[in-house]
Amino acid sequence: MTGTQLRSVVALLRMSPLDIGGDVGKMRDVFEELLGAIPLPEDVRTDAVDLGGVRTLKVTAGPDHGAGAVLFLHGGAYAFGSAATSANLAADVARRSGTTAYTVDYRLAPEHPFPAAVDDAVAAYRGLLDSGVPADRIALCGESSGGGLAVALLVALRDAGLPLPTSAAVLSPWTDLTQSGRSLRTKAAVDPTLTPEALAVRSRDYLAGADPRSPLASPLFADLRGLPPLLVQAGTHEILLDDALRLAAEAADADVAVTLQTFPNAPHVFQSFAAVLSPAATALDAVAAFLRTHLDQAAG
């Protein structure tokens, strides 16, 4: 059954009109149309809120959502996506973990290049603290570029001397904008979503001449010491597999508690298909258990 599910999802992705490296205006519309066409479940409520001057969507799902907050950072190669397009995945995380999710509408490139996304993520986190949610009731979650942004946010918070959240779960994170990962070559034939050429376009737009090895742009090259526990998930059929593997290795080398989970034959951010793909549901259950464990430990 799982093999059939995966084949169906991969076929759907290969037929998608979305071209990550295409015209940014047109592809934003495609991205919004594709994800906006998926209705939110009946138990999901969304409310627009302001966190530190950054537009954010507060997402609750199910009856239990008072046991902590998850600051959620969406994907889209720093050029596409929004709080609204990530609401389904954020709601799934919130429902499973019994938390309230806050998904951040950070500014996008090329209009707002690096470090705008990092600045917005820091401002939203500060805003969550200022709203009365203490750091020991906050966890982070991010997918794709949002996964890399979540790690960059942790580094920025640590360097600013701010209290750190309890943990972070990153799904198929894009952590290396130098494009040096081996899997960009070895997994290109099996990745139905991303290409090295497309990521190179979006990397140039985001960096706008900045050093691709900048720790807040490519957190793979950051000093990760002192960060809270990380959960890193990736599918083995994605060109960003090495970004996840190397991030976990660097975190472990920096004495960060890190859990790495890989899922055979799964594509980029396969967790989005939890409603129809059993490995995706399993992965999100693991995300929820990880976040819940560290939130509960911090609460004492």
3-state SS, residue 260: strand
Options 144, 145, 172, 183, the catalytic residue: 144
237 is catalytic: no
Q: How many CB atoms lie within 10 A of CB 264?
A: 10
238 is catalytic: yes
CA distance 73 to 83: 8
Options 86, 238, 250, 272, the catalytic residue: 238
183 is catalytic: no
CA distance 184 to 241: 8
Is residue 217 within 8 A of residue 177, CB to CB? The reply is yes
Helix (H) or strand (E) holding 45: strand 44-51
Render 124-183 in DSSP notation, one character per residue. HHHHHHHTT--GGGEEEEEETHHHHHHHHHHHHHHHTTPPPPS-EEEES----TT---TH
Q: Which amino acid is present at 27?
A: M
C-alpha of 29 from chain center: 20
Burial (0-12, 13-18, 19+ Cβ within 10 Å), 253: exposed
**DSSP assignment, residue 227?**
P
| Residues taking part in catalysis | 144, 238, 268
